[in-house]
Amino acid sequence: MNSEKQHASLFDLDGVPKMSQAIPLALQHVVAMIVGCVTPAIIISGAAGIDTADRVILIQASLVVSALATLLQLFPLGKKGGLRLGAGLPVILGVSFAYVPSMQAIAEQYGIATILGSQIAGGICAVIVGIMIKKIRKFFPPLIAGTVVFTIGLSLYPTAINYMAGGTGQPTYGSWQNWTVAIFTLIVVTVLNHFAKGFLKLASILVGMIAGYIFSMFFGMVSFTNVGEAGMFQLPHIMHFGINFEISACVAIGLLFVINSVQAIGDFSATTAGGLDREPTTDELQGAILGYGITNVIGAFLGCLPTATYSQNVGIVATTKVVNRVTLGISALVILVAGLFPKFSALLTTIPYAVLGGATVSVFASIAMTGMKLVMTEEMNYRNTSIVGLAAALGMGVSQASASLSSFPAWVTTIFGKSPVVIATLVAILLNVTLPREKNLYKTNK
């Protein structure tokens, strides 16, 4: 009886719960985030054309910094009620897909060093947002945030399809073997998503990738040579990729950091509403965004791509009501340990592109639909449909026909022509500010 009283409940924010209860729930969070955390690094390393050793380092940094960023949000630095870094709320952070379209364009043109330089500028932008959160928040209602997220999802579809075909530039690109493996992986993920329950449903993407990985071995797609060459233990390399500042890249990524800082409010609000039955305080939100900005600046020096809160883990907190920070802290420690062993990171580089494509196409579809759900929280009248439609059309249209900007300076193409997110964001904000609110003028009579 006495030993029971010494342990906190899993449903308490603070305190240490029984490890026998906490560890399975902690691993549940790891399973939900691990694939999403490392996949952007694999995609960007492909776009940048770096060798396998550097891919391992990029994946390793993704895991280590995501773990450290999560720990900071769980256990903030600074006094409660004053200026502090971190929210003190049960969230998991990882490398974000939201930045992938812009990072791909920057990686192809300038390299990873420029991504990391623009990430530092973006982190500073996030810190400014944290300080001014009350004034800035009004410019990013669900309509705008949803439009941006929807556009991000749409812009990722070509990446998924190219991966399903075997990866652009690969000798076997478009082969029937690649498509067979990709479709098999997609079927497994889809079946688990819709028919499985519990762990299998939660880990559908991970299980689908494992199934696809094993299936791909029959086609000779997997080689373990790089795993054998990787070291056993290694700390992240400081400034391994270097830091380079390109103004156009800083503008593109900086704008995304502002958007994601405001978007994080939604994740933190969903966490507190679902797990704690309350709204987050202003101090918690400010600490969350300041911590988000600072950890991304530090992460850039360690070679980690931009991180953000993970909505799938927010969903676990809201569903299970398990808000204990120590439990999620165990998740972060597992992720940290995984990142310190290069052989684990090297193993992830052996996943065939076709398997990644088959698994992530559903993730990208989910991102787009999440954006649509956000948009639909506001009335879809003529004004709002015009904002969403024009923003998505111009953003996607210009990026798909970036040659149309060829007569402009190169920086214009970098900012506006390579990724649809920047144009979609600016158009949505501008239209939302300038278009008059409707007064039943275009509403359909029922």
Tokens 């906190």 sit at which residue? 8
404 in a structural domain: yes
**Residue 312 pLDDT:** 67
Q: Which residues pair with 307 in a beta bridge?
A: 95
Read off the pLDDT band of 35 (50, 70, 90): confident
Q: Is the pLDDT of residue 4 over 60?
A: no
Percent of the chain with pLDDT over 90: 19
Name the token pair of 59. 């994946």
Give the phi and the psi of residue 101 in degrees, each rounded to 5: -60, -45
Kindly state the DSSP code that residue 444 receives in the 8-state scheme: P
What is d(CA 390, CA 393) in angstroms, rounded to the nearest whole number?
A: 5
Domain count, the chain: 1
DSSP string covering 413-439: IIIIIS-HHHHHHHHHHHHHHHSPPPS
Q: Which residues pair with 308 in a beta bridge?
A: 94
Residue type, position 41, single letter: A
379 in a structural domain: yes
Those residues with Cβ within 8 angstroms of residue 61's Cβ, 6 or more apart along the chain or in another chain: 41, 236, 237, 299, 302, 303, 304, 305, 339
What is d(CA 182, CA 359) in angstroms, rounded to the nearest whole number?
A: 8
**Residue 289 pLDDT:** 92
pLDDT tens sequence across 202-232: 667 778 888 998 999 898 887 777 776 666 7
Q: At 176, is the secondary structure helix, strand, or coil?
A: helix
Average pLDDT on 78-106 reads 84
Maximal C-alpha separation, the chain: 77
Read off the pLDDT band of 441 (50, 70, 90): very low
Q: Which residues pair with 309 in a beta bridge?
A: 93
How many other CB atoms are found less than 10 A from the CB of residue 379? 11
How many other CB atoms are found less than 10 A from the CB of residue 320? 16
Comparing C-alpha atoms, which of 306, 285, 286 is closest to residue 296?
Answer: 306
Q: Is the pLDDT of residue 380 over 70?
A: yes
What is d(CA 55, CA 49) in angstroms, rounded to the nearest whole number?
A: 9
439 in a structural domain: no
Q: Is the pLDDT of residue 294 over 90?
A: yes
Domain assignment of residue 193, given as a range: 12-434
5 in a structural domain: no
- Residues 146 and 372: beta-carbon distance below 8 Å: yes
- Residues 396 and 155: beta-carbon distance below 8 Å: yes
HEC profile of 63-123 = HHHHHHHHHHHHCCECCCCCCCECCCCCCCEEECHHHHHHHHHHHHHCCHHHHHHHHHHHH
Q: Is the pLDDT of residue 342 over 70?
A: yes
Q: Which residues of 217-242 are buried (b: 16+ CB within 10 A; e: fewer)?
A: eebebeeeebbeebeeebebeeebbe
What is d(CA 272, CA 13) in angstroms, rounded to the nearest whole number?
A: 11
Those residues with Cβ within 8 angstroms of residue 159's Cβ, 6 or more apart along the chain or in another chain: 43, 100, 101, 104, 360, 364
**Residue 186 pLDDT:** 92
pTM: 0.74
What is d(CA 138, CA 129) in angstroms, rounded to the nearest whole number?
A: 12
136 in a structural domain: yes
pLDDT tens sequence across 37-63: 888 888 898 888 888 888 888 988 999
19 in a structural domain: yes
Instruction: Give the distance from CA 257 to its chain's centroid.
Output: 12
What is d(CA 118, CA 121) in angstroms, rounded to the nearest whole number?
A: 5
Give the phi and the psi of residue 77 in degrees, each rounded to 5: -100, 130
Range among 134-138, 378-382, 384-388, 438-442 with highest mean pLDDT value: 384-388
Q: Is the pLDDT of residue 299 over 80?
A: yes
**Residue 440 pLDDT:** 53
Read off the pLDDT band of 300 (50, 70, 90): very high
Q: Is the pLDDT of residue 443 over 60?
A: no
pLDDT tens sequence across 316-332: 677 667 788 898 999 89
7 in a structural domain: no
Read off the pLDDT band of 445 (50, 70, 90): very low
Give the phi and the psi of residue 95 in degrees, each rounded to 5: -60, 135
160 in a structural domain: yes
Q: Is the pLDDT of residue 179 over 90?
A: yes
pLDDT tens sequence across 5-15: 577 777 777 87
